[in-house]
Structure 1
Amino acid sequence: MVRYAGFPAEGIEFLRKLERNNRREWFQARKEQFETQVRAPMLEFAAALNRELAAFAPLYMREPKEALYRIYRDTRFSADKTPYKTHIAALFPRIGMPRSGASGLYVGISHKGVEVAGGVYVPSAEDLRKLRALLAERHEEFRALVRKPALKKLMGELQGERLTRAPKGWPSGHPAEDLLRAKQWYFGVELEAALATTPRLLPEVAARFRAMAPAVEFLNQAFVRKKAPALFA
């Protein structure tokens, strides 16, 4: 059994204070504190999740340092110029696939809660074309995965922005029209903040990763040249 004691309370408190003091001078004076109380525990958590993924989605294991997002915000195109994120997060994409565009598994921790998500969030125009082609051909298979009781119980309904009508090139009334109108295909929930500092954090997140894994892998079939062997019974 994989064990993880939980994210340290002082790390959660650091993120809370960072939200109130989101300035370079404040953060730089406490950089070592961030490294030991926030980043190092998240690396440990990512390693623990990898050990869980080995049992049901080995193609989504990712070196912890590669899985973690940077704390620094990209403010180039944002009106919000605060320099730091106020959460720490990790993404587990499929081996050989990029962090953005393809389908992956995500977890983020802040003082407000634990966010767990999976699927496709920021596809490019070419990604959309490939995903819609896949869904048009195999929509019944995808619907069966989305309807699985464990997935619905733990992650709810499929989410994402949608067009108001069928996308260009696809006829109205197509049997997969509801799926083709989507611009994103993902699941996401926010768990209570108190969970983060307990040993329940790992099994709760891992259970949701397990529930999402078949649907996440299905979406990635849009980006592989030939259908991958079945990974999930």
Structure 2
Amino acid sequence: MQTTISFLENLSKNNNREWFQANRDRYDEAHQEMIAFADQLLAEMNKHDVIETPTGKKSLFRIYRDVRFGKDKTPYKTHWAGYLRRTGADRRGGYFYRIGLDGAYVMGGFFNPNAQDLLHIRNQIAQDADFFREVIDSNSFRKFFGDLHGDQLKTAPRGFEKDHPDVDLLRYKQFIVKHGFALSDMHSSDFPKKMSGAFQQMRPFFDCMTEILTTDLNGISLI
């Protein structure tokens, strides 16, 4: 990761097109290092899951920023990030990773569930949240991920009682878990394996959410 970190350090101090073009070869070196990392990560992930993303390169997001609508007009991101998609309707959830100057982290879950899925999740939780709480309140989950993350409503969603005993869960619009890594982890030769292991820790949460999304309120399969 040294090439990548060195490039990002310099880019953060010179975030303009002139510097980037003059140092295009350094970007290419960092990009190739990230592709190699992503390929290793993908290989590790396919040992314990089935990933639809065909190559590590395909998982990476572009370093170029979309500056059309934001106040920040710097043209380049000062981090690398990527996303791995699981295969099949019976494997819900997605894997996101980010590598930057302040360390790295992984996130996974349900970032933008559509209205139909979100309502289905809420109906399932409203009917019986015990199995969901067993996962997110377990010692292993709390130790590794801490709290459940994601945007929330300020009150109960429309159609649900404000005093529902599980209103704290019903208010979620996203269902995300997150785990961070130190800078020292990024320089480790087995960092792809460590990151894959962190993604594997998400599986009980993914399995629970898959069960929610693929069965009706009577527990009958929808797929």
Q: For the superposition of Structure 1 and Structure 2, which TM-score range results when normalised by the shorter chain?
A: 0.7 to 0.9
Q: Is the CA contact 1:62–1:92 (under 8 Å) kept in the aligned structure 2?
A: no
Q: Indicate whether 1:12 and 2:2 are aligned.
A: no
Q: Which residue of 181, 184, 195 maps to 2:171?
A: 181
TM-score by length of 2: 0.83
Aligned equivalents of 1:175 and 1:60: distance in 2? 38
Counterpart residue number, 1:45: 37
Q: Is the CA contact 1:60–1:104 (under 8 Å) kept in the aligned structure 2?
A: no
Residue deviations 1:183-217 (CA, integer Å, cap 9, x gap): 22111233212221212422321221011123134
Pick closer, same or farther for the CA change 1:199–1:219 going to 2, 3 Å.
same
Shift of 1:52: 2.0
Aligned equivalents of 1:137 and 1:216: distance in 2? 19
Counterpart residue number, 2:71: 79
Which structure: larger Rg?
2
Can you give the 5+ residue segments of structure 1 that lack an aligned partner in the other structure? 1-6, 229-233
SS at 2:129's partner residue? Answer: helix
Matches within 5 A, 1:101-180: 103-137=93-127, 139-180=129-170
- How many residues align? The count is 216
Q: Is the CA contact 2:126–2:166 (under 8 Å) kept in the aligned structure 1?
A: yes
Residue identity opposite 2:118 in structure 1:
L
Pick closer, same or farther for the CA change 1:25–1:198 going to 2, 3 Å.
same
Pick closer, same or farther for the CA change 1:215–1:26 going to 2, 3 Å.
same
Counterpart residue number, 2:28: 35
Q: Is the CA contact 2:39–2:56 (under 8 Å) kept in the aligned structure 1?
A: yes
Q: Which residue of 14, 21, 42 maps to 1:21?
A: 14
Query: CA RMSD, aligned part only?
Result: 2.6
Shift of 1:143: 1.7
Aligned equivalents of 2:176 and 2:160: distance in 1? 22
SS at 2:151's partner residue? Answer: coil
Residue identity opposite 1:216 in structure 2:
F
Higher relative contact order (CA 8 A, sep 6+): 1
SS at 2:156's partner residue? Answer: coil
Aligned equivalents of 1:45 and 1:31: distance in 2? 20
Residue identity opposite 2:173 in structure 1:
K
Residue identity opposite 2:95 in structure 1:
L
Shift of 1:138: 5.3
SS at 1:186's partner residue? Answer: strand
Aligned equivalents of 1:80 and 1:130: distance in 2? 37
SS at 2:87's partner residue? Answer: coil
Q: Is the CA contact 1:134–1:221 (under 8 Å) kept in the aligned structure 2?
A: no
Shift of 1:26: 1.3
Shift of 1:163: 1.7
Residue identity opposite 1:188 in structure 2:
K
